Amino acid sequence: MKIGIAGYGNLGRGVEAAVELAGDMDLTAVFTRRDPETVKVATDTPVLPMTKIDEMAEDIDVIILCGGSATDLPVMTPEIAAKCNVVDSFDTHANIPQHLAAVDESAKAAGNIGVISVGWDPGLFSVARLYANAALPVGKDYTFWGRGVSQGHSDAIRRIDGVLDARQYTVPVEEAVQRVRNGENPDLTTRDKHTRECYVVAEEGADLEAIEKAIVTMPNYFDEYDTTVTFITQEEMDRDHKGLPHGGSVLRSGVTGIEGEFGDTIEFSLNLESNPYFTGSVLAAVARAAYRMNKEGESGARTIFDIPPYLLCETPREELIAHML
Amino acid sequence: MKIGIAGYGNLGRGVEAAVELAGDMDLTAVFTRRDPETVKVATDTPVLPMTKIDEMAEDIDVIILCGGSATDLPVMTPEIAAKCNVVDSFDTHANIPQHLAAVDESAKAAGNIGVISVGWDPGLFSVARLYANAALPVGKDYTFWGRGVSQGHSDAIRRIDGVLDARQYTVPVEEAVQRVRNGENPDLTTRDKHTRECYVVAEEGADLEAIEKAIVTMPNYFDEYDTTVTFITQEEMDRDHKGLPHGGSVLRSGVTGIEGEFGDTIEFSLNLESNPYFTGSVLAAVARAAYRMNKEGESGARTIFDIPPYLLCETPREELIAHML
């Protein structure tokens, strides 16, 4: 199948690598809003201006949208779903129903499939929550994120006066994770579940105490967490904090039995050295499913909840059933 | 939806409890090959002879088959799939394709759905393997079982001369699990992955050394494992080893990136206080999906790989997307 990528940042790079790896996919084009001459991709794929999607869409089976959730995807996904099958990683949880409706309308009218909110959260974590809830209808869900880099929190620190660079790690509190694993069903506050570690490069002569205070008291981002701030040099930042690792665990603890007398725990965990490359890999797998569903005559908006899992793999269904079931 | 249970052992009891819990299911009948008078169920459900399925099938939406994989299900599932939607827990991995074909033929001819090999392995572990392979096509799978009771191994010990009762626990080797979690991609032999703990009640005056030797050298069951044998009294057996706990972990360790430069690990784990009650709960969720697929006009044999996940939950799709994605 022929794949396009719209938007070429970290996530676009991740999708490119995943498509390159897949035996059943070819990367037809990378579309960008920047000057295509300035965009250097990792493969020999042509880089075209975003406006070329109109004429290229006919020759592409699925376009994977690698824009941001805040302003890009709410416009981009419905628009491009009117021209081609699409997959996006829309992750503003509160606006998912509205995004789904917009994509459904435009995809259905065009006879295309648009799969939204794909990645690991939303994505694999969501589907783990769903299976856990199906298997244990009486129970309690917990999600822990990290240890990993939060781009949003890193950006928030960078906007503080006197800060040159920053990297923020979200860290799950190991004791809290362990209590959930033990089936204790604890009530956990925001502070109980995660801590935040900040590594900051400050301008020479900046007021470090003021920067630290601005970070730890920042509403929504840090004030409800135990936050540590460590000042480092730009060299240390470049040497020790270049990567974008992430991961976490979805847990459900519940009961079975006629009186709820048996306690069970289900856990799904990810430990990712590169968040965007893993997310890109999930997007590529879902693009395969989108193509196959569309070939069967389906159209409209979908989520990972709607996809029969066998459609995600390159391996044919019969082989999966024979060897993986 | 109206549910029937065929076969009332530990698994049948587990399904009964799960159906009782579900707000959208009623248990219509329990079918048994024993004298129905002798079968005491946990709810006030009528117990009927297995032969009554013929006349009752019309009033039941899905019959959940709780027989054994060795001799019951290969006959029972295709036979009953000709009369009603069915779900089974067939777990002889090597014979799954053949079982699938037999069920497909009879279910399709009758316009019914037959979902085979449901539970946690095959079942939730299978689907965890599939998502992990879709997300990380380059990698290696590992499955660890336990700590949990293996019924087959316990039975094998009970057949030894001089043994009155026995319970065998399969135990994953923690160090091996840890190496996989660390992304070391180890090559592990059978002995590296699991140990076997046996608790045995012997007849008075039995040759304990001979029993121990018969266990640890038993081909296929124990000879490839580090096995410990502990002799206990019947009182200790009844007090400390009544439960049927189980669980384990499915892990996949793989790489992403254009050169495979990033290492990731995916893990799905279960910690179950009661294996049959949890398995029963999964069977009930899949029965819901079978009913819904059949209502949409689908027929034939299915596995958990074929089921869009949202069909498994009592909660409607829109609500799942709004709150669980």
Q: What is the pLDDT of residues B29-73, one digit of tens each?
A: 999 999 999 999 999 999 999 999 999 999 999 999 999 998 999
Determine contact, residues B284/A138, Cβ cutoff 8 Å.
no
Rg of the Cα atoms in chain A: 22
Under DSSP, is residue A156 helix (H, G, I), strand (E, B) or coil?
helix
Q: How high is the ipTM of this complex?
A: 0.97
Q: Which residues of B touch A97 (CB under 8 A)?
A: 318, 321-322
Q: B264 vs A285: CB contact, 8 Å cut-off? A: no
Task: Say which of A131, A277, A308 has its CB closest to residue B262.
Answer: A277
Q: Nearest-CA distance from A238 to chain B in Å? A: 18
The partner residues of B254 in beta bridges, in order of sequence, read B139, B264
List, for residues A142-153, the tens digit of each pLDDT value.
999 999 999 999
Look up tokens 């917990």; give the residue.
Answer: A142
Q: Nearest-CA distance from A207 to chain B in Å? A: 37
Dihedral of the alpha carbons of B118, B122, B127, B130, in degrees to the nearest 10: -140
**What was the pLDDT predicted at A221?**
94
Q: A137 vs B21: CB contact, 8 Å cut-off? A: yes
Q: A267 vs B263: CB contact, 8 Å cut-off? A: no
Q: A135 vs B315: CB contact, 8 Å cut-off? A: no
Mean pLDDT of all residues in chain B?
A: 97
CATH topology assigned to domain B124-273: Dihydrodipicolinate Reductase; domain 2 (3.30.360)
Q: Give the pLDDT band of residue B213 (cuts 50, 70, 90).
A: very high
For A273, the token pair is: 């050295």
Q: A270 vs B266: CB contact, 8 Å cut-off? A: yes
Q: Nearest-CA distance from A210 to chain B in Å? A: 37
**What was the pLDDT predicted at A191?**
96
Q: B136 vs A271: CB contact, 8 Å cut-off? A: no
- For residue B134, give the chain A residue with the closest CA: A313
Q: How many residues does chain A have?
A: 325
Going from N- to C-terminal start, the domains of chain B cover: 2-121+276-323, 124-273
Contacts of B146 (CB under 8 A, 6+ apart): B169, B170, B171, B172, B194, B246, B247, B248
Sign of CA dihedral B305, B308, B309, B313: negative
Q: B325 vs A269: CB contact, 8 Å cut-off? A: no
**What was the pLDDT predicted at A30?**
98
Q: Which of A15, A321, A323 to mutate to test the interface with B (most CBs of B within 10 A)?
A: A321
Q: Which residues of B touch A308 (CB under 8 A)?
A: 305-308
Q: Environment class of residue B16 by beta-carbon count within 10 Å: exposed (0-12), middle (13-18) or buried (19+)?
A: buried
Q: Nearest-CA distance from B238 to chain A in Å? A: 18
List, for residues B126-172, the tens digit of each pLDDT value.
999 999 999 999 999 999 999 999 999 999 999 999 999 999 999 99
3-state helix, strand, coil in chain B (%, to 5): 40, 25, 30
**What was the pLDDT predicted at A64?**
98
Q: A324 vs B17: CB contact, 8 Å cut-off? A: no
Distance CA A197, CA A146 (A): 11
End-to-end CA, chain B? 26
> Within 10 A of A270 (CB to CB), how many other CB atoms are there?
24
User: Quick one: DSSP state of residue A315?
Assistant: S
Distance CA A276, CA A245 (A): 9
Strand-pair category, A26-32 with A47-49: parallel
For the domain made up of B2-121+276-323, the CATH class stated in words is alpha beta
Sign of CA dihedral A114, A120, A121, A126: positive
Q: Nearest-CA distance from A161 to chain B in Å? A: 34
3-state SS, one letter per residue, for A99-137: HHHHHHHHHHHHCCEEECCCCECCEHHHHHHHHHHHHCC
**What was the pLDDT predicted at A224?**
95
Q: B256 vs A14: CB contact, 8 Å cut-off? A: yes
Fold identical between B2-121+276-323 and B124-273? no
End-to-end CA, chain A? 26
Strand-pair category, B62-65 with B163-172: unpaired
Q: A130 vs B312: CB contact, 8 Å cut-off? A: yes
Nearest to A208 by CA among A242, A240, A232, A234: A232
Predicted TM-score (pTM) above 0.95: yes
Q: Which residues of B touch A312 (CB under 8 A)?
A: 130-131, 134
**What was the pLDDT predicted at B90?**
97
List, for residues B254-281, the tens digit of each pLDDT value.
999 999 999 999 999 999 999 999 999 9
**What was the pLDDT predicted at B109?**
98
Contacts of B73 (CB under 8 A, 6+ apart): B65, B67, B88, B89, B90, B99
Look up tokens 């860290």; give the residue.
Answer: A171
Q: Give the pLDDT band of residue B325 (cuts 50, 70, 90).
A: very high
List, for residues A263-290, the tens digit of each pLDDT value.
999 999 999 999 999 999 999 999 999 9
- For residue B125, give the chain A residue with the closest CA: A325
Q: What percent of chain A has pLDDT over 90?
A: 98
pLDDT, block means (10 residues), chain A with 325 residues: 97 98 97 97 98 96 95 97 98 95 98 98 98 98 97 95 98 97 95 98 97 96 97 98 97 97 98 98 98 98 98 98 97
Which ranges of chain A does DSSP label H, i.e. alpha helix? 10-21, 53-56, 72-81, 96-110, 124-135, 151-158, 174-181, 190-193, 208-216, 234-240, 275-295, 317-323
Distance CA B305, CA A106 (A): 29
Q: Nearest-CA distance from B185 to chain A in Å? A: 14
Q: B16 vs A308: CB contact, 8 Å cut-off? A: no
Q: B137 vs A324: CB contact, 8 Å cut-off? A: no
For A83, the token pair is: 């021209």
3-state helix, strand, coil in chain A (%, to 5): 40, 25, 30
Task: Say which of A93, A256, A305 has its CB closest to residue B310.
Answer: A305
Query: Rounded mean pLDDT of B115-125?
Result: 97
Q: Nearest-CA distance from A15 to chain B in Å? A: 9
Q: A137 vs B324: CB contact, 8 Å cut-off? A: no
Distance CA A4, CA A48 (A): 10
